[in-house]
Structure 1
Amino acid sequence: MIYYLIVCRSLTYAQRTAAVLERAGITARILRAPKSIAGEGCSYAVKVSERRLAQSLVLLKRADLPPKGVFITEADGSYREVWL
């Protein structure tokens, strides 16, 4: 299954992001961002399904919660940044 990681700048922002998505009926799971995509320090990410990404990004923009980055999972388990 293909899914996206919406990277947030802190745990608090990840919790807020997940809450906005959950209120809209989108399943969102908070997790530590993998080191390969975390960049500096420890980041958190919210995992969403491929079919819910566009709707998720619209909701986050309305809630003024811009993601730090968005990554897609590759077939080999690696991550590739998606430019929006």
Structure 2
Amino acid sequence: MLYYLIVCRSLTYAQRTAAALERAGIPAHILRSPKSIAGEGCSHSVKISQRYLAGALRALHRAVLEPKRVFITTGDGSYREVEL
């Protein structure tokens, strides 16, 4: 199954992001960002199903929680950044 990772700058920001998505009816799970996408230091991500991306971006915009970066899984298990 394909999914998106919304990269957040901190655990608190990831918690706020997940809460905003849950309020919008979008299932979201917080996890530590994989090392391949974390960049500098450690970060946390919010994982959502592929079918929820458009609604998630609208919900986050309304909540003034713009994503730092968004990645999609590829067929081989790696990640590719999505241009927003």
> TM-score band, normalised by the shorter chain?
over 0.9
- Unpaired runs of 5+ in structure 1? none
1:46 maps to: 46
Q: Which runs of 4+ in 1 moved over 3 A?
A: none
After TM superposition, the structure 1 = structure 2 runs for residues 1-84 of structure 1, keeping only pairs within 5 Å, are 1-84=1-84
Secondary structure of 2:36 counterpart: helix
Give 2:55's aligned amino acid. Answer: Q
The size of the alignment, in residue pairs, is: 84
Secondary structure of 2:52 counterpart: helix
Q: Per-residue CA shift, 1:23-71, capped at 9, x if unaligned?
A: 1111000000001000111010000011100100011011111111000
Secondary structure of 2:27 counterpart: coil
TM value normalised by structure 2: 0.98
